[in-house]
Amino acid sequence: MSDYPVFTRKVHTDLSYIACARKLLAEPDYIYPQFATHNAQTVATIYQLAQPEQYYAGQYEFQCLHGMGEPLYENVVGDPSKNKLGIPCRIYAPVGNHETLLAYLVRRLLENGANTSFVNRIADKTLNIEDLIENPQQTILKASKQENVLGAKHPHIPYPQDLYADARINSSGLDLANDAELRVLNEVASSLANTQFQAAAMGTAFTVIDTSNVVQIINPAHHQDVVGTVYEATSEQAEIALTQAVNAQSFWANLSKNERAACLNRAAELMEQRLLPLMVLLSREAGKTYANAIAEVREAVDFMRYYSAQVLDLSDNVQIQPLGTVLCISPWNFPLAIFTGQIAAALVAGNTVIAKPAEQTPLIAAQAVQILWEAGIPQDVLQLLPGRGETIGAQLSADSRIQGIMFTGSTEVAQILQKTVAERINQFGESVTLIAETGGQNAMIVDSSALTEQVVLDVVSSAYDSAGQRCSALRVLCVQEDNLEAVRNMLKGAMQQLRVGNPVLLKTDIGPVIDAEAKQNIQQHIEQMRRKGHKVHQLMFNQDQTELTPGTFIAPTLIELPNLDDLEREVFGPVLHLISYKYGELEQLLDQINSKGYGLTMGLHTRIDETMQTVIA
């Protein structure tokens, strides 16, 4: 967004409250206004707006929280003959158990404890009464004279694009709650609904497409939708690409760091301008919801600006020694963001790049390479070789001209790459660089002090967003048995509110898993857990599942386990495993989690300092 959808100064909120009150009071035939406030200035303003000389029973009322503002409301509800206002006030109070009300209490304490709160300021004996009761309109006009602008935002709250100050520009997105922006998105989506995209080997040597290895890319949400065609690279093309990359290395390494950074910044701007068509392609090819697609394009843009800023921040006479030709192998779950991030990091440091995208998502990768070329990256400095990991990937990673590998994917493949590069050294006589990010058996620990509502919000977001297809997604929820039942019941209720379906629909919460193989692997795991006698809950909002048959969908799944013994590897989908632990068993639980050998992300819900220290120790 270009600006915030809320006020950044309290005085603007105060004035808006009065403006709304004026509108409410002007429609007595349709609205019975009820004004909840503990601010004496606001009470006095509403009293005058309602024209007290014309007051009648049922015109409006005030409201206050039980136990607050009592001295103020004694004057509001008191007898007019005793110099009181004689306006009714409804006293309200929250009702519920301790767990439910604690969060409400904390919020009220934070509100009333704020420096700008009337309840706080009235206790400040250093404040003049005139300042305390000043009309917000007058306060705003005073500020406008000092700032030479009316209604300026808070000076210490930057606009969204300026969040990173002078370091870099923040990426922009799309407001999916804005009808005007949605209309434009719908027009773009409609125009691209039947577009056939294409990917093939990209570089100056590949002007003619080799059609020997042709694969159709289908929409995982709707298999009748052929998104495009990929012409997978051949062994001969891989050999040519390696030669071209080595020959281009000297030119690119000798280009100034600032010129390389400028290319990335131009690419970021171009990608941002093409947000809508990239969103549509991400949805069709990778099954992304539009919310996830926006986040992915923004992440790709941020990666380019971040790495550019890192290099620009170095002194002009710094000596950057590139590795040489770097192989970037990216995954299908973030086919634009991680693909772009790997390439941007390698390029800005002066390396030439051969990019091999995941075989499921080459079309979005081709779009990204085209954008980088348009931004000024030479075509031999960045080349694209779509193809299978076991063929093109294996050939490239084993070649001695590859001086570094950046990989995101499975742990098994990362181990193969590790063995491959361990057999040789780079041009500087050092180990060949391998940067690998792999999967995780990610756990969250929830003790008895945690707020159940907060826990469930985080669990649903982490375990089921993106259909669980994130390396950082929650896989194992460990709940202290004292609040296991409450967490389990609320989590199952939340799962029943999740809509599974076509990601182009805004109502969809969870899209498809990437392909039939992924669906089969996930289903096999679920059935294996059932056969072992574990409770399996598959819940979603959809009553009619026939609408899911055209794609590869898995309902949000919760599997109750007695321990972690049956979890041997990561299950890459919307599947969460639930175990419980007893009070006093936290250290044993941590040992079990660590013994799985998949340490990537970790979550903790507690309000006990001792628990925090135990977990991070």
Count helices and strands in the chain by DSSP H and E runs? 21, 17
Annotation says 527 is catalytic: no
Tokens at 579, concatenated: 């175990």
* Three-state DSSP state, 221: coil
User: Beta-carbon neighbour count of residue 270 at 10 Å?
Assistant: 16
Asked if residue 311 lies in contact with residue 260, where contact means CB atoms within 8 angstroms, the answer is yes
CA distance 516 to 511: 14
CA 493 → CA 233, 342, 537, distances in Å? 48, 39, 11
Measured in degrees and rounded to the nearest 5, phi and psi for residue 130 equal -65, -40
Instruction: Give the residue among 54, 55, 53, 45 at the shortest CA–CA distance from 22.
Output: 45
Instruction: Give the residue among 336, 401, 404, 396 at the shortest CA–CA distance from 372.
Output: 336
Given 64, 89, 328, 471, the catalytic residue? 471
Given 61, 181, 269, 437, the catalytic residue? 437
Measured in degrees and rounded to the nearest 5, phi and psi for residue 435 equal -110, 110
Task: Find residue 353's DSSP bridge partners.
Answer: 326, 382
Q: Exposed e or buried b for every residue in 383-419, given b needs 16+ CB within 10 A?
A: bbbbbebebbbebbbebebbbbbbbbbbbebbebbee
Tokens at 575, concatenated: 């599947």
Q: In what order do the strands lie in the sheet with 402-408?
A: 382-384, 352-356, 325-329, 402-408, 433-437
Beta strand 443-446 with 433-437 is unpaired
Annotation says 471 is catalytic: yes
CA 311 → CA 328, 338, 372, 405, 579, distances in Å? 20, 19, 18, 20, 46
Tokens at 145, concatenated: 């004279």
The torsion defined by the Cα of 407, 410, 414 and 415, in degrees rounded to 10, comes to 180
CA distance 436 to 415: 9
CA distance 520 to 268: 37
Chain position carrying tokens 């970021």: 268
Tokens at 535, concatenated: 């409770």
CA distance 259 to 277: 28
CA distance 479 to 455: 10
* Three-state DSSP state, 500: strand
Q: Which residues are catalytic?
A: 437, 471
